[in-house]
């Protein structure tokens, strides 16, 4: 008899990383009840950094460690729709264990005010001037770039210059949430990750949600010992402190292990967000512990916003250009259909054809038992089988895939000619369809290590751990075509609407 090993593959994805119950210990955290600013929770390192035992702070207001002028600054900062607009709060608070001064950083979330303390770095005038010079110079360079690749490469160079990180990358998410390093700048002697792919599980869903909420995260030292928040449960809310917006939020131990396996001692990530979706990250790595000041983090956050705006602007221009092309094609198609005894045949027998609307390897127009083909397409029997499969699946008006084998069993000929498909249902009886086909494009994907995560022993038995090696690991991908763009899918849907209006008046 053998023991059965059960591994929870979803444990990492369920980890509540927004309520870790601890912070990174290079700063302090206070959870405050308004309006009195009573300390409901505090990080346990308060005694070491302020010389104040936790039990002398809990239940007291902030006058227990701040003077009158400092309290006024905190209250002024909180007296705003978004208190974060007033950061940093220049407190000039001295730590008890060093000669360092702390600045305050405030935000409001989940019914409480949060006050974080971090080491101050610059005078107020220097902060503004340095921020302006760094951001203005890099922003001008980004606007002047002629291509997306050049803009992303310039951004990595500029951010590395501002921060001093050993490696700065642009990590772009695919539709299925895998990520590719599409631009990179590295220090001499540092391994390059450019062109490597990483599985979606490396940045699970709840982490991607946090990147949307809080656009920057800095891990100062992956070997840190977390400073627990006391008490764990907020006595007023009955819940753990939600640290979604806290700069000091402690990160998952699994992620720290992942970074250590990669040879990284400190990291910073900045979100690139387009229309509410996470397009990618500016990912920074360092081989030694590294604290990034608030001013530099703010500058990098702004550059992330500039990148987001520029990418969005360029995508909009590209979309507008394609829409103009599609509109012109539709006008031509309308004339061709109007002048043809069978309107659909006008789209394959005369110029321009359907292939001028959407880049594809082949097009098929099916009218009952008859097919009209253009370019590289499946044969007659395969087309009839495809229609039966789509009908059995209850196809809606439009069906789109870049990997048809993931939906239906395919013949060898179908795999070669029809890995990618846009199917437009014009009429069910007799079966009337327009098909756009793309052939298989076999490609080699370079993963940053074997994407299959190892199973490792744990206190509970076994768990899925982070990869130990990040050497390039090749995988041959087959059965996929080039992806259909949003513009192409929209053009196909507009084509279907045009055809149904011309043929059936609806």
> 14: burial class by Cβ within 10 Å (0-12, 13-18, 19+)?
exposed
Q: Kindly state the average pLDDT of the residues 181-188.
A: 96
Sign of CA dihedral 226, 77, 89, 288: positive
> 203: burial class by Cβ within 10 Å (0-12, 13-18, 19+)?
buried
Q: Kindly state the average pLDDT of the residues 252-275.
A: 94
**DSSP-derived secondary structure letter, 233:** B
More confident residue, 135 or 300: 300
Could you tell me the CA-to-CA distances from 445 to 161, 442, 448, 449, 451 in Å, in that order? 31, 10, 10, 11, 11
pLDDT band (50, 70, 90) for residue 467: low
The CA-based dihedral angle spanning residues 228, 281, 307, 139, taken in that order and rounded to the nearest 10 degrees: 60
DSSP symbols for 24-79: -TTSEEEEEETTTTEEEEEETTHHHHHS--GGGTTTSBGGGTS-HHHHHHHHHHHS
Residues in contact with 390: Cβ distance below 8 Å, sequence separation at least 6, in sequence order:
399, 423, 425, 433
Distance, in Å, from the CA atom of 166 to the CA atom of 22, rounded to the nearest integer, reads: 28
Distance, in Å, from the CA atom of 171 to the CA atom of 14, rounded to the nearest integer, reads: 23
Q: Are strands 89-94 and 101-109 parallel, antiparallel or unpaired?
A: antiparallel
pLDDT the model gives residue 474: 58
pLDDT the model gives residue 175: 85
**Nearest Cα to 57, choosing from 74, 85, 70, 38?**
38
Q: Are 271 and 212 in contact (CB under 8 A)?
A: yes
Distance, in Å, from the CA atom of 297 to the CA atom of 118, rounded to the nearest integer, reads: 13
Q: Are 168 and 283 in contact (CB under 8 A)?
A: yes
pLDDT the model gives residue 444: 62
Domains annotated for the chain, with CATH where assigned, are 17-119 (3.30.450.20), 340-441+480-504 (3.30.450.270)
Q: pLDDT tens digits, residue range 119-156?
A: 887 555 555 566 677 788 899 999 999 999 999 999 99
Q: Are 241 and 31 in contact (CB under 8 A)?
A: yes
Alpha carbon 332 to its chain's center = 40
- Is pLDDT of 71 > 50? yes
CB burial of 121-131 (b: ≥16 within 10 Å; e: otherwise) equals bbeeeebeebb
Q: Kindly state the average pLDDT of the residues 290-312.
A: 93
pLDDT the model gives residue 345: 84
DSSP symbols for 2-13: -PPP---TTHHH
Q: pLDDT tens digits, residue range 163-172?
A: 999 999 999 9
pLDDT the model gives residue 206: 93
Residues in contact with 504: Cβ distance below 8 Å, sequence separation at least 6, in sequence order:
427
% of residues, the chain, pLDDT over 90: 69
Alpha carbon 193 to its chain's center = 18
Q: Quick count: other Cβ atoms within 10 Å of Cβ 45?
A: 22
pLDDT the model gives residue 416: 83
More confident residue, 309 or 176: 309
Q: pLDDT tens digits, residue range 42-65?
A: 999 999 999 999 999 999 999 999
Distance, in Å, from the CA atom of 145 to the CA atom of 151, rounded to the nearest integer, reads: 5
pLDDT band (50, 70, 90) for residue 460: very low
Question: Taking the complete model, does pTM exceed 0.85, yes or no?
Answer: no
The residue length of the chain stands at: 506
- Is pLDDT of 455 > 50? no
Element (H, E) at 132: helix 124-144
Number of Cα atoms under 13 Å in the Cβ half of residue 504: 10
Q: Kindly state the average pLDDT of the residues 211-234.
A: 97
Alpha carbon 505 to its chain's center = 43
- Is pLDDT of 9 > 60? no
Q: Are strands 362-367 and 432-438 parallel, antiparallel or unpaired?
A: antiparallel
Rounded to a whole number, what is the largest CA-CA distance in the chain? 90
Q: Are 179 and 431 in contact (CB under 8 A)?
A: no
pLDDT band (50, 70, 90) for residue 4: very low
Q: Quick count: other Cβ atoms within 10 Å of Cβ 346?
A: 21
- Is pLDDT of 22 > 80? yes
Q: Kindly state the average pLDDT of the residues 475-490.
A: 86
- Is pLDDT of 2 > 70? no
Q: pLDDT tens digits, residue range 385-419?
A: 999 999 999 888 999 999 999 999 888 888 889 99
**Nearest Cα to 452, choosing from 200, 120, 174, 243?**
200
In the beta sheet, which residues pair with residue 278?
A: 273
Q: What angle do CA 428, 433, 438 make, to 5 degrees?
A: 145
Q: Are 157 and 142 in contact (CB under 8 A)?
A: no
pLDDT the model gives residue 154: 96
pLDDT band (50, 70, 90) for residue 1: very low
pLDDT the model gives residue 287: 97
The CA-based dihedral angle spanning residues 373, 374, 377, 382, taken in that order and rounded to the nearest 10 degrees: -10
pLDDT band (50, 70, 90) for residue 111: very high
pLDDT the model gives residue 120: 84
Distance, in Å, from the CA atom of 72 to the CA atom of 104, rounded to the nearest integer, reads: 12
């Amino acid at each position: 008899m053998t023991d059965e090993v059960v591994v929870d593959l979803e444990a990492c994805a369920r980890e509540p990383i927004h309520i870790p119950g601890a912070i990174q210990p290079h700063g302090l955290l206070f959870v405050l009840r308004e309006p009195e600013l009573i300390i409901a929770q505090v990080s346990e390192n308060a005694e070491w950094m302020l010389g104040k035992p936790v039990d002398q702070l809990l239940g007291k207001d902030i006058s227990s460690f701040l003077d009158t002028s400092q309290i006024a600054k905190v209250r002024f900062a909180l007296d705003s729709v978004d208190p974060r607009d007033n950061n940093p709060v220049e407190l000039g608070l001295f730590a008890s264990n060093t000669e360092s001064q702390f600045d305050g950083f405030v935000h409001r979330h989940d019914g409480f005010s949060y006050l974080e303390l971090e080491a101050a770095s610059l005078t107020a005038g220097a902060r503004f001037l340095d921020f302006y010079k760094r951001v203005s110079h890099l922003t001008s360079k980004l606007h002047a770039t002629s291509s997306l690749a050049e803009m992303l490469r310039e951004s990595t160079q500029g951010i590395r210059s501002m921060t001093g990180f050993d490696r700065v990358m642009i990590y772009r998410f695919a539709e299925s949430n895998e990520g590719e390093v599409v631009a990179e700048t590295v220090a001499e002697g540092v391994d390059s990750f450019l062109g490597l792919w990483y599985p979606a599980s490396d940045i699970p869903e709840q982490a991607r949600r946090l990147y949307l909420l809080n656009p920057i995260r800095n891990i100062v030292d992956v070997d840190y010992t977390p400073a627990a928040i006391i008490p764990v449960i907020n006595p007023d809310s009955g819940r753990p402190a939600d640290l979604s917006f806290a700069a000091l939020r402690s990160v998952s131990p699994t992620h720290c292990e992942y970074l250590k396996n990669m040879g990284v001692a400190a990291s910073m990530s900045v979100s690139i967000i387009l229309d509410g979706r996470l397009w990618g990250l500016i990912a920074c790595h360092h081989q030694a512990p590294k604290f990034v000041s608030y001013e530099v983090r703010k500058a990098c956050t702004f550059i992330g916003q500039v990148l987001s705006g520029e990418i969005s602007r360029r995508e909009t221009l590209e979309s507008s250009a394609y829409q103009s092309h599609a509109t012109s094609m539709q006008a031509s198609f309308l004339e061709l259909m109007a002048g043809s005894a069978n309107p659909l045949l006008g789209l394959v027998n005369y110029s321009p054809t359907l292939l001028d609307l959407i880049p594809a390897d082949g097009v098929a127009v099916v009218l009952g038992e008859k097919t009209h083909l253009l370019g590289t397409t499946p044969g007659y029997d395969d087309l009839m089988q495809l229609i039966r499969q789509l009908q059995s699946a209850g196809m809606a008006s439009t069906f789109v895939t870049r990997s048809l084998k993931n939906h239906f069993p395919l013949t060898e000929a179908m795999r070669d000619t029809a890995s990618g498909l846009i199917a437009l249902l014009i009429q069910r009886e007799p079966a009337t369809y327009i098909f756009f086909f793309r052939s298989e494009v076999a490609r080699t994907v370079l993963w940053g290590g074997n994407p299959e995560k190892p199973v490792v022993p744990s206190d509970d038995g076994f768990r899925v751990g982070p990869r130990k090696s990040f050497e390039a690991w090749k995988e041959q991908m087959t059965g996929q075509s080039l992806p259909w763009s949003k513009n192409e899918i929209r053009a196909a849907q507009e084509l279907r609407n045009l055809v149904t209006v011309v043929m059936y008046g609806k």
